[in-house]
Amino acid sequence: MNSRKEAMLPAVARFVDALRGLHENEPDEAVRWRTAAERLRQLLRDPELKAHAQGWPTSPAKLGLEGKHANLLFYEDPDHGFVINGLIKKPAAKTTVHDHGRSWTLYGVLDGAESVLRFRRADGGRPGELPSRAEVEATETAQVGAGHVDCIGPWEIHAEYNNDHARTIAVIVRSQKSGTFTQNIFYQKDGSVEQYYGPQQIPWRLG
Ligand SMILES: [Fe+2]
């Protein structure tokens, strides 16, 4: 993993610079991350990044098991704590229904096609809770493909379901590294909720 930008793809190094600038100059987190989402949309068009992604690993098997997908970890910012992750999901793979706790996330589709779902608490529960039981219901589903960026705010409940015949490759930007905050997983089959510390992080060189 790059602790700074050495040997990083040029377009990614420019993206990191832009994100560092936003952290230094934009105190409003919602504005910062919506602006960063625009910048990630530009990055997803980079041919060199697309070519590099063809070599990203689809194993170990943890990269696609039980809905708890491991992430490749490309970069962690030493000053601001944001990270850049990669995620490869096999055709028909589904994530759990989950939130990202207090963190902000940009989920960018580099290749493939999938459905992005949003949910709401249907039991009067409020964002920020770590409940043992909860009722959630889907509020919207969007079919998305390469170039799409989903900006996921703190405690927003969501899932991603791959299309049957397409794997997806995603570039994910998180405001802080998984493992440093608690997330909820909502199991609709029985209403139970599990707390966990997010996907395992597998260091990988992006350059
Ligand atoms: Fe997620």
Residue 5 lies in a domain: no
Q: How far apart are CA 197 and CA 191, in angstroms?
A: 20
CA of 51 relative to ligand 1 center, distance in Å: 25
CA of 101 relative to ligand 1 center, distance in Å: 10
Q: How far apart are CA 73 and CA 174, in angstroms?
A: 11
Taking phi first (over 0 means left), then psi (-120 to 50 degrees means alpha), and beta for anything else, what does residue 67 get? Answer: left
pLDDT band at residue 5 using 50, 70 and 90 as cut-offs = low
CA distances, 48 to each of 43, 74, 110, 113, 170 (Å): 10, 15, 12, 20, 15
Q: How far apart are CA 12 and CA 8, in angstroms?
A: 7
- What tens digit of pLDDT does each residue of 149-168 get? 999 999 999 999 998 888 89
Q: What does the pLDDT read at residue 63? A: 52
Across 57-79, b (16+ Cβ under 10 Å) vs e yields eeeeeebbeeebbbbbbbbbbee
Q: What does the pLDDT read at residue 4? A: 53
Residue 4 lies in a domain: no
CA of 105 relative to ligand 1 center, distance in Å: 8
Q: What does the pLDDT read at residue 59? A: 62
Average pLDDT over residues 55-60: 76
CA of 159 relative to ligand 1 center, distance in Å: 6
Residue 173 lies in a domain: yes
Average pLDDT over residues 99-107: 97
CA of 34 relative to ligand 1 center, distance in Å: 17
Question: How many CB atoms within 10 Å of residue 113?
Answer: 18
pLDDT band at residue 31 using 50, 70 and 90 as cut-offs = very high
What single string gives the DSSP state of each residue in 153-204? -TT-EEEEEE-TT--EEEEEEESS-TTSS-EEEEETTTTEEEEE--S-EEE-
CA of 47 relative to ligand 1 center, distance in Å: 25
CA of 109 relative to ligand 1 center, distance in Å: 13
When divided into structural domains, the chain yields a total of 1
Instruction: With a cut of 80, say whether residue 7 has pLDDT above it.
Output: no
Instruction: With a cut of 90, say whether residue 189 has pLDDT above it.
Output: yes
Instruction: With a cut of 90, say whether residue 183 has pLDDT above it.
Output: yes
Q: For the domain that residue 61 is a member of, what is the CATH number?
A: 2.60.120.10
Look at the chain and count its residues.
Answer: 207
pLDDT band at residue 207 using 50, 70 and 90 as cut-offs = confident
Helix 29-43, helix 10-25: angle, nearest 10: 170
- Of 5 and 191, more confident: 191
Residue 31 lies in a domain: yes
Residue 1 lies in a domain: no
Neighbour order of strands in the sheet with 113-121: 136-145, 113-121, 157-162, 97-98, 183-187, 192-196
Instruction: With a cut of 60, say whether residue 66 has pLDDT above it.
Output: no
CA of 174 relative to ligand 1 center, distance in Å: 10
CA of 88 relative to ligand 1 center, distance in Å: 13
Instruction: With a cut of 80, say whether residue 69 has pLDDT above it.
Output: no
Give residue 163's domain range: 10-203
Whole-number percent of the chain with pLDDT over 70? 92
Residue 122 lies in a domain: yes
Residue 39 lies in a domain: yes
Q: Any bridge partners for residue 106, and if so which? A: 151, 173
Residue 2 lies in a domain: no
CA distances, 25 to each of 19, 20, 83, 154 (Å): 10, 9, 18, 21
CA of 149 relative to ligand 1 center, distance in Å: 12
